[in-house]
Structure 1
Amino acid sequence: MPRFAANLTMMYNEHAFLDRFAAAAQDGFKAVEFLFPYDFRADEIKARLDASSLTQALFNAPPGDWAGGERGIASLPGREDEFRRGIDTALDYARVIGNRKLHVMAGLIGADQPRAKHREVYLSNLAHAARAAQAEGITVVIEPINTRDMPGFFLTRQDEAQAVCAEVGAPNLKVQFDCYHCQIVEGDLALKLKRDMAGIGHIQIAGVPERHEPDTGELNYPYLLELIDSLGYDGYIGCEYRPRAGTSAGLGWLKPYLNANR
Protein backbone atom coordinates (compact mmCIF):
# COMPACT_ATOMS: atom_id res chain seq x y z
CA MET A 1 0.00 0.00 0.00
CA PRO A 2 1.19 3.56 -0.64
CA ARG A 3 2.78 5.46 2.22
CA PHE A 4 2.07 9.18 2.54
CA ALA A 5 4.04 12.14 3.88
CA ALA A 6 2.24 15.32 4.88
CA ASN A 7 3.77 18.41 3.31
CA LEU A 8 4.01 20.77 6.28
CA THR A 9 4.64 23.83 4.12
CA MET A 10 1.21 23.57 2.51
CA MET A 11 -0.73 21.53 5.06
CA TYR A 12 -1.56 22.28 8.70
CA ASN A 13 -1.19 26.02 8.29
CA GLU A 14 -3.70 26.28 11.15
CA HIS A 15 -0.69 25.64 13.40
CA ALA A 16 2.71 27.22 13.92
CA PHE A 17 5.32 25.34 11.90
CA LEU A 18 6.86 23.37 14.75
CA ASP A 19 3.40 22.32 15.95
CA ARG A 20 2.49 20.86 12.56
CA PHE A 21 4.48 17.69 13.21
CA ALA A 22 2.26 16.61 16.09
CA ALA A 23 -0.87 17.57 14.16
CA ALA A 24 0.16 15.40 11.22
CA ALA A 25 0.96 12.45 13.49
CA GLN A 26 -2.39 12.84 15.23
CA ASP A 27 -4.10 12.42 11.84
CA GLY A 28 -2.21 9.21 11.15
CA PHE A 29 0.74 10.33 9.04
CA LYS A 30 3.97 8.46 9.65
CA ALA A 31 6.16 10.84 7.63
CA VAL A 32 6.41 14.50 6.68
CA GLU A 33 8.13 16.69 4.13
CA PHE A 34 8.43 20.47 3.72
CA LEU A 35 10.19 22.98 1.53
CA PHE A 36 12.87 24.46 3.77
CA PRO A 37 14.04 23.86 7.35
CA TYR A 38 16.51 26.72 7.55
CA ASP A 39 14.49 29.11 9.74
CA PHE A 40 14.84 26.58 12.56
CA ARG A 41 17.69 24.66 14.13
CA ALA A 42 18.05 21.10 12.88
CA ASP A 43 17.86 19.73 16.42
CA GLU A 44 14.54 21.55 17.00
CA ILE A 45 13.05 19.79 13.98
CA LYS A 46 14.55 16.45 14.96
CA ALA A 47 13.00 16.76 18.41
CA ARG A 48 9.55 17.31 16.89
CA LEU A 49 10.00 14.34 14.57
CA ASP A 50 11.06 12.07 17.41
CA ALA A 51 8.30 13.25 19.75
CA SER A 52 5.70 12.26 17.15
CA SER A 53 7.49 9.15 15.82
CA LEU A 54 7.69 10.69 12.35
CA THR A 55 10.10 10.10 9.48
CA GLN A 56 11.40 13.07 7.49
CA ALA A 57 10.92 12.11 3.85
CA LEU A 58 12.33 15.13 2.02
CA PHE A 59 13.24 18.78 2.12
CA ASN A 60 14.77 21.25 -0.35
CA ALA A 61 18.27 22.64 -0.61
CA PRO A 62 18.54 26.43 -0.16
CA PRO A 63 16.82 28.10 -3.16
CA GLY A 64 18.53 31.48 -3.27
CA ASP A 65 16.43 34.52 -2.39
CA TRP A 66 13.01 32.85 -2.11
CA ALA A 67 11.31 35.96 -0.68
CA GLY A 68 12.77 37.95 -3.56
CA GLY A 69 11.29 35.59 -6.14
CA GLU A 70 14.14 33.16 -6.79
CA ARG A 71 13.17 29.52 -7.18
CA GLY A 72 16.45 27.69 -6.95
CA ILE A 73 19.94 28.49 -8.23
CA ALA A 74 21.22 25.17 -9.60
CA SER A 75 21.08 26.36 -13.22
CA LEU A 76 22.12 29.97 -12.64
CA PRO A 77 25.54 30.94 -14.06
CA GLY A 78 27.73 32.80 -11.59
CA ARG A 79 26.06 31.30 -8.51
CA GLU A 80 28.08 28.09 -8.34
CA ASP A 81 29.90 28.90 -5.08
CA GLU A 82 26.62 29.85 -3.42
CA PHE A 83 25.07 26.63 -4.68
CA ARG A 84 27.87 24.51 -3.20
CA ARG A 85 27.61 26.27 0.15
CA GLY A 86 23.87 25.61 0.07
CA ILE A 87 24.43 21.90 -0.51
CA ASP A 88 26.80 21.81 2.45
CA THR A 89 24.15 23.47 4.61
CA ALA A 90 21.43 21.09 3.42
CA LEU A 91 23.60 18.05 4.17
CA ASP A 92 24.39 19.41 7.63
CA TYR A 93 20.64 19.53 8.30
CA ALA A 94 20.04 16.11 6.78
CA ARG A 95 22.63 14.51 9.07
CA VAL A 96 20.64 15.66 12.08
CA ILE A 97 17.10 15.33 10.74
CA GLY A 98 17.74 11.96 9.13
CA ASN A 99 16.11 12.32 5.71
CA ARG A 100 17.65 10.46 2.78
CA LYS A 101 16.24 12.59 -0.08
CA LEU A 102 17.12 16.16 -0.97
CA HIS A 103 15.31 18.21 -3.60
CA VAL A 104 17.43 20.66 -5.62
CA MET A 105 15.50 23.33 -7.52
CA ALA A 106 16.77 24.37 -10.94
CA GLY A 107 15.79 28.05 -10.91
CA LEU A 108 14.25 30.52 -13.35
CA ILE A 109 15.48 31.50 -16.78
CA GLY A 110 14.49 34.54 -18.83
CA ALA A 111 13.47 34.24 -22.47
CA ASP A 112 16.59 36.17 -23.49
CA GLN A 113 19.04 34.11 -21.44
CA PRO A 114 21.29 31.41 -22.96
CA ARG A 115 19.62 28.09 -22.21
CA ALA A 116 22.67 26.06 -23.22
CA LYS A 117 24.81 27.87 -20.65
CA HIS A 118 22.20 27.34 -17.95
CA ARG A 119 22.07 23.63 -18.78
CA GLU A 120 25.86 23.35 -18.62
CA VAL A 121 25.87 24.95 -15.15
CA TYR A 122 22.92 22.78 -14.08
CA LEU A 123 24.67 19.55 -15.03
CA SER A 124 27.87 20.57 -13.28
CA ASN A 125 26.09 21.63 -10.10
CA LEU A 126 24.00 18.47 -10.00
CA ALA A 127 27.09 16.32 -10.41
CA HIS A 128 28.66 18.10 -7.45
CA ALA A 129 25.50 17.77 -5.33
CA ALA A 130 25.17 14.07 -6.13
CA ARG A 131 28.80 13.40 -5.21
CA ALA A 132 28.50 15.24 -1.91
CA ALA A 133 25.19 13.56 -1.09
CA GLN A 134 26.37 10.07 -2.01
CA ALA A 135 28.89 10.16 0.81
CA GLU A 136 25.94 10.64 3.18
CA GLY A 137 23.74 7.97 1.60
CA ILE A 138 21.36 10.64 0.29
CA THR A 139 19.52 10.75 -3.04
CA VAL A 140 19.26 14.11 -4.83
CA VAL A 141 16.03 14.67 -6.74
CA ILE A 142 15.16 17.23 -9.41
CA GLU A 143 11.61 18.28 -10.21
CA PRO A 144 9.97 19.48 -13.42
CA ILE A 145 7.59 22.31 -12.45
CA ASN A 146 4.80 23.81 -14.53
CA THR A 147 5.27 27.37 -15.76
CA ARG A 148 1.70 28.36 -15.02
CA ASP A 149 2.50 28.31 -11.32
CA MET A 150 6.19 29.17 -11.71
CA PRO A 151 6.77 31.16 -14.93
CA GLY A 152 10.25 30.75 -16.36
CA PHE A 153 11.20 27.63 -14.41
CA PHE A 154 14.12 25.94 -16.15
CA LEU A 155 12.94 22.31 -15.93
CA THR A 156 9.37 21.50 -16.99
CA ARG A 157 9.15 18.02 -18.57
CA GLN A 158 9.66 14.50 -17.27
CA ASP A 159 11.66 13.33 -20.29
CA GLU A 160 13.96 16.34 -19.97
CA ALA A 161 14.55 15.60 -16.28
CA GLN A 162 15.28 11.95 -17.00
CA ALA A 163 17.74 13.01 -19.73
CA VAL A 164 19.53 15.33 -17.29
CA CYS A 165 19.90 12.50 -14.77
CA ALA A 166 21.19 10.15 -17.47
CA GLU A 167 23.76 12.69 -18.64
CA VAL A 168 25.05 13.37 -15.13
CA GLY A 169 25.20 9.62 -14.60
CA ALA A 170 25.12 9.62 -10.80
CA PRO A 171 23.32 6.62 -9.27
CA ASN A 172 21.82 8.80 -6.52
CA LEU A 173 20.37 11.47 -8.85
CA LYS A 174 16.71 10.88 -9.67
CA VAL A 175 13.52 12.68 -10.68
CA GLN A 176 10.84 13.97 -8.34
CA PHE A 177 7.57 13.10 -10.11
CA ASP A 178 4.91 15.59 -9.05
CA CYS A 179 1.61 14.43 -10.51
CA TYR A 180 0.14 17.93 -10.29
CA HIS A 181 2.91 19.57 -12.32
CA CYS A 182 3.09 16.72 -14.82
CA GLN A 183 -0.64 16.78 -15.51
CA ILE A 184 -0.57 20.53 -16.21
CA VAL A 185 2.44 20.38 -18.53
CA GLU A 186 2.10 16.98 -20.22
CA GLY A 187 -0.70 14.74 -18.98
CA ASP A 188 -0.58 11.01 -19.76
CA LEU A 189 0.68 10.31 -16.25
CA ALA A 190 0.18 6.55 -16.20
CA LEU A 191 2.39 5.91 -19.22
CA LYS A 192 5.06 8.26 -17.91
CA LEU A 193 5.08 6.50 -14.55
CA LYS A 194 5.45 3.15 -16.31
CA ARG A 195 8.17 4.50 -18.60
CA ASP A 196 10.23 6.28 -15.96
CA MET A 197 9.69 4.50 -12.64
CA ALA A 198 13.27 3.24 -12.44
CA GLY A 199 14.47 6.85 -12.49
CA ILE A 200 11.87 8.28 -10.08
CA GLY A 201 13.12 9.05 -6.58
CA HIS A 202 10.10 10.76 -5.03
CA ILE A 203 6.43 11.25 -5.89
CA GLN A 204 4.02 14.03 -4.92
CA ILE A 205 0.27 14.43 -5.39
CA ALA A 206 -2.39 17.15 -5.45
CA GLY A 207 -5.71 17.74 -7.14
CA VAL A 208 -5.66 19.42 -10.55
CA PRO A 209 -6.27 22.24 -11.38
CA GLU A 210 -6.82 23.89 -7.97
CA ARG A 211 -4.05 22.04 -6.07
CA HIS A 212 -6.45 20.96 -3.33
CA GLU A 213 -6.99 17.48 -1.90
CA PRO A 214 -6.36 14.62 -4.35
CA ASP A 215 -10.00 13.51 -4.21
CA THR A 216 -11.00 16.57 -6.25
CA GLY A 217 -10.19 17.57 -9.82
CA GLU A 218 -9.42 15.80 -13.05
CA LEU A 219 -6.97 13.09 -11.92
CA ASN A 220 -8.08 9.58 -10.93
CA TYR A 221 -5.81 9.12 -7.94
CA PRO A 222 -7.18 5.75 -6.77
CA TYR A 223 -6.09 4.37 -10.14
CA LEU A 224 -2.73 6.18 -10.14
CA LEU A 225 -1.89 5.14 -6.57
CA GLU A 226 -2.70 1.52 -7.34
CA LEU A 227 -0.49 1.76 -10.43
CA ILE A 228 2.38 3.32 -8.46
CA ASP A 229 2.11 0.50 -5.94
CA SER A 230 2.10 -2.13 -8.68
CA LEU A 231 5.25 -0.63 -10.23
CA GLY A 232 7.16 -1.31 -7.02
CA TYR A 233 7.60 2.23 -5.73
CA ASP A 234 8.36 1.94 -2.02
CA GLY A 235 9.10 5.55 -1.10
CA TYR A 236 6.77 8.06 0.50
CA ILE A 237 4.20 9.95 -1.55
CA GLY A 238 4.23 13.61 -0.59
CA CYS A 239 0.86 15.30 -0.13
CA GLU A 240 1.84 18.69 -1.50
CA TYR A 241 -1.54 20.36 -1.71
CA ARG A 242 -3.42 23.33 -0.27
CA PRO A 243 -6.39 22.10 1.80
CA ARG A 244 -9.75 23.52 0.79
CA ALA A 245 -10.55 24.32 4.40
CA GLY A 246 -9.15 22.73 7.55
CA THR A 247 -6.38 20.21 6.88
CA SER A 248 -7.75 17.49 9.15
CA ALA A 249 -11.30 17.92 7.89
CA GLY A 250 -10.14 17.27 4.33
CA LEU A 251 -8.42 13.94 5.00
CA GLY A 252 -11.35 11.69 4.21
CA TRP A 253 -9.52 10.53 1.06
CA LEU A 254 -6.62 9.27 3.21
CA LYS A 255 -8.51 7.16 5.74
CA PRO A 256 -8.93 4.02 3.59
CA TYR A 257 -5.17 3.90 3.05
CA LEU A 258 -4.40 4.42 6.74
CA ASN A 259 -6.83 1.66 7.71
CA ALA A 260 -5.28 -0.72 5.16
CA ASN A 261 -1.78 -0.08 6.60
CA ARG A 262 -2.74 -0.93 10.19
Structure 2
Amino acid sequence: MLRFTANLSMLFTELPLTERFQAAKQHGFNAVEIQFPFDLPAATLQALLQEHDLKLVLFNVDADDLLRGGEGLAAVPEKQEMFRAAVAQACDYAELLQPDCVNVLPGRCLNAGRLAEYRQTFKDNLAYAADVFADIGVTTVFEAINSLDMPGFIVDSSAKMLSVLREVNHPRVRLQYDIYHMSRMREDCAAFLSQHIDKVGHIQFADCPGRGQPGSGAVDFAALFELIEGLAYKGWLGAEYKPIPTTTASLGWIKTRQVTETAAL
Protein backbone atom coordinates (compact mmCIF):
# COMPACT_ATOMS: atom_id res chain seq x y z
CA MET A 1 0.00 0.00 0.00
CA LEU A 2 1.38 3.41 -0.96
CA ARG A 3 1.94 6.01 1.74
CA PHE A 4 1.19 9.66 0.99
CA THR A 5 2.28 12.86 2.69
CA ALA A 6 0.68 16.28 2.47
CA ASN A 7 3.19 19.00 1.63
CA LEU A 8 2.06 21.74 4.01
CA SER A 9 3.93 24.42 2.09
CA MET A 10 1.60 23.92 -0.87
CA LEU A 11 -1.53 22.23 0.49
CA PHE A 12 -4.05 23.76 2.91
CA THR A 13 -2.51 27.20 2.39
CA GLU A 14 -6.00 28.62 2.96
CA LEU A 15 -5.01 28.19 6.63
CA PRO A 16 -2.08 29.37 8.75
CA LEU A 17 0.71 26.80 8.89
CA THR A 18 -0.10 25.85 12.47
CA GLU A 19 -3.64 24.87 11.42
CA ARG A 20 -2.61 22.83 8.37
CA PHE A 21 -1.55 19.85 10.50
CA GLN A 22 -5.09 19.29 11.74
CA ALA A 23 -6.50 19.76 8.24
CA ALA A 24 -4.10 17.17 6.81
CA LYS A 25 -5.11 14.65 9.44
CA GLN A 26 -8.81 15.31 8.92
CA HIS A 27 -8.41 14.63 5.20
CA GLY A 28 -6.77 11.25 5.62
CA PHE A 29 -3.04 11.96 5.77
CA ASN A 30 -0.89 10.32 8.43
CA ALA A 31 2.27 12.17 7.45
CA VAL A 32 3.34 15.61 6.25
CA GLU A 33 6.33 17.36 4.75
CA ILE A 34 7.31 21.03 4.81
CA GLN A 35 9.61 22.76 2.37
CA PHE A 36 11.26 25.09 4.88
CA PRO A 37 10.03 24.69 8.47
CA PHE A 38 12.29 27.27 10.07
CA ASP A 39 9.69 30.00 10.62
CA LEU A 40 8.38 27.93 13.53
CA PRO A 41 10.49 26.62 16.42
CA ALA A 42 11.22 22.91 16.22
CA ALA A 43 9.49 22.39 19.57
CA THR A 44 6.30 23.97 18.22
CA LEU A 45 6.38 21.68 15.20
CA GLN A 46 6.98 18.67 17.42
CA ALA A 47 3.97 19.58 19.56
CA LEU A 48 1.73 19.96 16.48
CA LEU A 49 2.86 16.62 15.09
CA GLN A 50 2.19 14.90 18.40
CA GLU A 51 -1.17 16.59 18.89
CA HIS A 52 -2.43 15.39 15.52
CA ASP A 53 -0.61 12.04 15.47
CA LEU A 54 1.37 12.88 12.34
CA LYS A 55 4.84 11.98 11.14
CA LEU A 56 7.08 14.60 9.54
CA VAL A 57 8.70 12.76 6.63
CA LEU A 58 10.86 15.42 4.98
CA PHE A 59 11.99 19.02 4.90
CA ASN A 60 14.67 21.02 3.05
CA VAL A 61 17.90 22.56 4.19
CA ASP A 62 17.55 26.33 3.89
CA ALA A 63 18.23 27.48 0.31
CA ASP A 64 18.90 31.19 0.91
CA ASP A 65 17.67 33.23 -2.08
CA LEU A 66 16.75 30.36 -4.45
CA LEU A 67 12.99 30.95 -4.41
CA ARG A 68 13.54 34.68 -4.96
CA GLY A 69 15.44 34.17 -8.22
CA GLY A 70 18.92 33.73 -6.78
CA GLU A 71 21.40 30.89 -7.01
CA GLY A 72 20.56 29.32 -3.67
CA LEU A 73 23.09 27.96 -1.24
CA ALA A 74 24.33 24.43 -1.90
CA ALA A 75 26.35 24.99 -5.08
CA VAL A 76 27.76 28.49 -4.64
CA PRO A 77 31.49 28.31 -3.77
CA GLU A 78 31.42 31.62 -1.89
CA LYS A 79 28.56 30.38 0.34
CA GLN A 80 30.05 27.19 1.77
CA GLU A 81 30.19 28.55 5.31
CA MET A 82 26.57 29.66 5.00
CA PHE A 83 25.68 26.20 3.74
CA ARG A 84 27.32 24.51 6.72
CA ALA A 85 25.42 26.82 9.06
CA ALA A 86 22.19 25.88 7.28
CA VAL A 87 23.02 22.18 7.68
CA ALA A 88 23.62 22.73 11.39
CA GLN A 89 20.23 24.45 11.69
CA ALA A 90 18.52 21.63 9.80
CA CYS A 91 20.29 19.06 11.96
CA ASP A 92 18.95 20.71 15.11
CA TYR A 93 15.42 20.44 13.70
CA ALA A 94 15.98 16.88 12.49
CA GLU A 95 17.27 15.70 15.86
CA LEU A 96 14.00 16.73 17.46
CA LEU A 97 11.56 15.96 14.62
CA GLN A 98 13.20 12.77 13.25
CA PRO A 99 12.24 12.99 9.56
CA ASP A 100 13.11 10.11 7.27
CA CYS A 101 14.92 12.46 4.88
CA VAL A 102 16.32 15.95 4.58
CA ASN A 103 16.50 17.43 1.07
CA VAL A 104 19.42 19.50 -0.22
CA LEU A 105 18.39 21.66 -3.19
CA PRO A 106 21.25 21.94 -5.71
CA GLY A 107 20.39 25.49 -6.78
CA ARG A 108 21.25 27.56 -9.84
CA CYS A 109 24.37 28.64 -11.64
CA LEU A 110 23.74 31.93 -13.40
CA ASN A 111 27.24 32.15 -14.89
CA ALA A 112 27.67 29.30 -17.36
CA GLY A 113 31.45 29.70 -17.23
CA ARG A 114 31.44 28.56 -13.59
CA LEU A 115 29.12 25.56 -13.99
CA ALA A 116 31.81 22.93 -13.40
CA GLU A 117 32.92 24.74 -10.24
CA TYR A 118 29.33 24.94 -8.98
CA ARG A 119 28.72 21.25 -9.68
CA GLN A 120 31.81 20.27 -7.70
CA THR A 121 30.83 22.53 -4.82
CA PHE A 122 27.40 20.96 -4.73
CA LYS A 123 28.84 17.44 -4.64
CA ASP A 124 31.21 18.41 -1.82
CA ASN A 125 28.39 20.03 0.14
CA LEU A 126 26.04 17.11 -0.44
CA ALA A 127 28.62 14.68 0.94
CA TYR A 128 29.18 16.95 3.93
CA ALA A 129 25.44 17.14 4.68
CA ALA A 130 25.08 13.38 4.28
CA ASP A 131 27.78 12.79 6.90
CA VAL A 132 26.06 15.15 9.34
CA PHE A 133 22.57 13.71 8.89
CA ALA A 134 23.80 10.11 8.88
CA ASP A 135 25.06 10.66 12.43
CA ILE A 136 21.43 11.14 13.56
CA GLY A 137 19.96 8.40 11.38
CA VAL A 138 18.49 10.64 8.67
CA THR A 139 18.92 10.06 4.93
CA THR A 140 20.00 12.95 2.70
CA VAL A 141 18.21 13.37 -0.62
CA PHE A 142 18.55 15.81 -3.51
CA GLU A 143 16.32 16.52 -6.49
CA ALA A 144 16.28 17.67 -10.07
CA ILE A 145 14.11 20.71 -10.85
CA ASN A 146 13.06 21.47 -14.39
CA SER A 147 14.97 24.26 -16.09
CA LEU A 148 11.83 25.69 -17.73
CA ASP A 149 10.37 26.82 -14.41
CA MET A 150 13.78 27.48 -12.86
CA PRO A 151 16.38 28.36 -15.54
CA GLY A 152 19.96 27.67 -14.59
CA PHE A 153 19.19 24.89 -12.12
CA ILE A 154 22.31 22.76 -12.11
CA VAL A 155 20.52 19.39 -11.81
CA ASP A 156 17.56 19.39 -14.20
CA SER A 157 17.35 15.80 -15.48
CA SER A 158 17.35 12.20 -14.33
CA ALA A 159 20.70 11.65 -16.02
CA LYS A 160 22.28 14.49 -14.03
CA MET A 161 20.79 13.12 -10.79
CA LEU A 162 22.29 9.71 -11.47
CA SER A 163 25.63 11.28 -12.32
CA VAL A 164 25.75 13.19 -9.03
CA LEU A 165 24.65 10.13 -7.07
CA ARG A 166 27.38 8.02 -8.67
CA GLU A 167 30.10 10.62 -8.18
CA VAL A 168 29.24 11.40 -4.56
CA ASN A 169 28.96 7.67 -3.83
CA HIS A 170 27.70 8.09 -0.26
CA PRO A 171 25.72 5.27 1.40
CA ARG A 172 23.20 7.66 2.95
CA VAL A 173 22.41 9.76 -0.16
CA ARG A 174 19.33 8.96 -2.23
CA LEU A 175 17.31 10.65 -4.96
CA GLN A 176 14.23 12.73 -4.34
CA TYR A 177 12.31 12.03 -7.53
CA ASP A 178 9.74 14.64 -8.52
CA ILE A 179 7.22 13.42 -11.09
CA TYR A 180 6.13 16.94 -12.01
CA HIS A 181 9.62 18.27 -12.69
CA MET A 182 10.69 15.28 -14.75
CA SER A 183 7.40 15.26 -16.68
CA ARG A 184 7.99 18.95 -17.41
CA MET A 185 11.32 17.91 -18.93
CA ARG A 186 9.42 15.32 -21.03
CA GLU A 187 11.08 12.38 -19.35
CA ASP A 188 9.55 8.91 -19.02
CA CYS A 189 8.90 8.72 -15.28
CA ALA A 190 7.61 5.15 -15.40
CA ALA A 191 10.72 3.91 -17.17
CA PHE A 192 13.05 5.70 -14.77
CA LEU A 193 11.29 4.45 -11.65
CA SER A 194 11.15 0.92 -13.01
CA GLN A 195 14.91 0.92 -13.47
CA HIS A 196 16.09 3.01 -10.51
CA ILE A 197 13.56 2.70 -7.67
CA ASP A 198 16.31 1.32 -5.41
CA LYS A 199 18.08 4.69 -5.61
CA VAL A 200 14.99 6.73 -4.66
CA GLY A 201 14.53 7.89 -1.08
CA HIS A 202 11.45 10.05 -1.59
CA ILE A 203 8.95 10.78 -4.36
CA GLN A 204 6.98 13.99 -4.89
CA PHE A 205 4.24 14.56 -7.43
CA ALA A 206 2.01 17.03 -9.19
CA ASP A 207 0.32 16.82 -12.55
CA CYS A 208 1.83 18.36 -15.64
CA PRO A 209 1.40 20.90 -17.08
CA GLY A 210 0.13 23.33 -14.48
CA ARG A 211 1.45 21.58 -11.35
CA GLY A 212 -2.08 20.87 -10.12
CA GLN A 213 -3.47 17.77 -8.44
CA PRO A 214 -3.58 14.38 -10.18
CA GLY A 215 -6.25 14.49 -12.86
CA SER A 216 -5.70 18.15 -13.72
CA GLY A 217 -3.08 17.48 -16.41
CA ALA A 218 -1.70 14.81 -18.70
CA VAL A 219 0.12 12.44 -16.31
CA ASP A 220 -1.46 8.99 -15.94
CA PHE A 221 -1.28 8.79 -12.16
CA ALA A 222 -3.41 5.66 -11.89
CA ALA A 223 -0.80 3.78 -13.90
CA LEU A 224 2.14 5.42 -12.13
CA PHE A 225 0.83 4.72 -8.64
CA GLU A 226 0.11 1.12 -9.61
CA LEU A 227 3.64 0.79 -10.99
CA ILE A 228 5.26 2.26 -7.87
CA GLU A 229 3.24 -0.01 -5.63
CA GLY A 230 4.25 -3.02 -7.72
CA LEU A 231 7.92 -2.03 -7.39
CA ALA A 232 7.61 -2.47 -3.62
CA TYR A 233 8.75 1.11 -2.99
CA LYS A 234 9.21 1.55 0.77
CA GLY A 235 9.29 5.34 0.97
CA TRP A 236 6.61 8.02 0.95
CA LEU A 237 4.97 9.97 -1.88
CA GLY A 238 4.61 13.66 -1.24
CA ALA A 239 1.61 15.54 -2.62
CA GLU A 240 3.37 18.77 -3.59
CA TYR A 241 0.99 20.49 -5.96
CA LYS A 242 -0.96 23.72 -6.44
CA PRO A 243 -4.56 22.80 -5.55
CA ILE A 244 -7.29 23.69 -8.04
CA PRO A 245 -9.41 25.45 -6.85
CA THR A 246 -8.88 24.62 -3.15
CA THR A 247 -7.06 21.86 -1.29
CA THR A 248 -10.25 20.19 -0.12
CA ALA A 249 -11.67 20.20 -3.65
CA SER A 250 -8.42 18.79 -5.03
CA LEU A 251 -8.33 15.59 -2.98
CA GLY A 252 -10.46 13.34 -5.20
CA TRP A 253 -7.33 11.39 -6.18
CA ILE A 254 -6.64 10.19 -2.64
CA LYS A 255 -10.29 9.44 -1.90
CA THR A 256 -10.42 7.27 -5.01
CA ARG A 257 -7.34 5.37 -3.86
CA GLN A 258 -8.75 4.86 -0.37
CA VAL A 259 -11.97 3.39 -1.81
CA THR A 260 -9.99 1.13 -4.16
CA GLU A 261 -7.70 -0.07 -1.38
CA THR A 262 -10.62 -0.77 0.94
CA ALA A 263 -12.37 -2.77 -1.76
CA ALA A 264 -9.23 -4.81 -2.30
CA LEU A 265 -8.99 -5.90 1.34
Which segments of 5 or more consecutive residues in structure 1 lack a partner in the other structure?
none
Per the alignment, residue 147 of structure 1 pairs with 147
Which segments of 5 or more consecutive residues in structure 2 lack a partner in the other structure?
none
State how far apart, in whole Å, the 2-side matches of 1:206 and 1:112 are.
30
Q: TM-score, normalised by structure 2?
A: 0.95
State how far apart, in whole Å, the 1-side matches of 2:190 and 2:67 are.
35
Percent of counterpart pairs with the same letter? 37
- Higher normalized helix content (fraction of residues): 2
Per the alignment, residue 253 of structure 1 pairs with 253
Aligned residues: 262
Asked if residue 108 in structure 1 is aligned to residue 102 in structure 2, the reply is: no
Q: Which runs of 4+ in 1 moved over 4 A?
A: none
Per the alignment, residue 180 of structure 2 pairs with 180
Q: CA RMSD in A?
A: 1.4
Q: Is the 8 A contact 1:4 1:31 kept in 2?
A: yes
Q: CA deviation at 1:111?
A: 4.3
Per the alignment, residue 21 of structure 1 pairs with 21
Q: Is the 8 A contact 1:206 1:239 kept in 2?
A: yes
Question: Structure 2 matches for 1:149-228, cutoff 5 A?
Answer: 149-228=149-228
State how far apart, in whole Å, the 2-side matches of 1:165 and 1:20 are.
34
Per the alignment, residue 126 of structure 1 pairs with 126
Q: Is the 8 A contact 2:37 2:59 kept in 1?
A: yes
Change in CA separation of 1:222 and 1:71 when aligned onto 2, cut-off 3 Å: farther
Question: Structure 2 matches for 1:62-77, cutoff 5 A?
Answer: 62-66=62-66, 68-70=68-70, 72-77=72-77
Code of the residue aligned with 1:217 in structure 2: it is: G
Per the alignment, residue 94 of structure 2 pairs with 94
Q: TM-score, normalised by structure 1?
A: 0.96
State how far apart, in whole Å, the 2-side matches of 1:10 and 1:69 are.
19
State how far apart, in whole Å, the 1-side matches of 2:50 and 2:72 are.
29
Code of the residue aligned with 1:189 in structure 2: it is: C
Asked if residue 10 in structure 1 is aligned to residue 10 in structure 2, the reply is: yes
Q: CA deviation at 1:75?
A: 1.0
